[in-house]
Amino acid sequence: MKYTIAIVENDEDERFFMEEAFNKSGLFDIVAQLENGDALFNFLETNPDTCPQVILSDLNMPGKNGFDIIAGIKANPKLCHIPVIITSTSSTPTMIEKSRNLGAAEYLIKPDSFIHYEPFIKTLHKVIEEKQLVK
């Protein structure tokens, strides 16, 4: 199945490589690429007909970060059905646990290199399918 996704990532180069790999995979349609949680919530508010099925968010960003995104999505009755998947270079157990305790659907470690996004995207799709994150 193909899913619609919003990507929240503050690094412009990383967004570029992610978009390239997502488009190449054919597994997702990107509805928005945003630089932080503030931009995400603005997008969701101003584009209610373009609601993504999944939100993939970086953890550490200026403005609203990944933790803020999880909390904000979970607190909104209109959005709380959207799974938020956190992605970060950090594999620190306390960060992973905090993300999951706040309500993240999953926590995936970013690839070491921009060029390794294709396997990451396949893993992301597999997680969504296996955990039945999209109803």
Mind listing the pLDDT tens digit for each residue in 96-121?
Answer: 999 999 999 999 999 888 778 889 99
Report pTM. Answer: 0.95
Q: What is the pLDDT of residues 7-23, one digit of tens each?
A: 999 999 889 999 999 99
CB 67, CB 36: distance < 8 Å: no
CB 54, CB 134: distance < 8 Å: yes
Q: Given this model, what pLDDT does residue 135 score?
A: 82
Superfamily of domain 15-44+51-91+101-130: Response regulator (3.40.50.2300)
Q: Given this model, what pLDDT does residue 115 score?
A: 73
Q: What is the pLDDT of residues 28-55, one digit of tens each?
A: 999 999 999 999 999 999 998 999 999 9
Nearest Cα to Cα of residue 69 among 81, 85, 53: 85
CB 2, CB 29: distance < 8 Å: yes
CB 114, CB 13: distance < 8 Å: yes
Sequence spans of domains, the chain: 15-44+51-91+101-130
Does pLDDT of 64 surpass 90? yes
Average pLDDT over residues 50-79: 96
Q: Tell me the CA end-to-end span of the chain in Å, nearest whole number.
A: 12
Tokens read off for 3:
């899913």
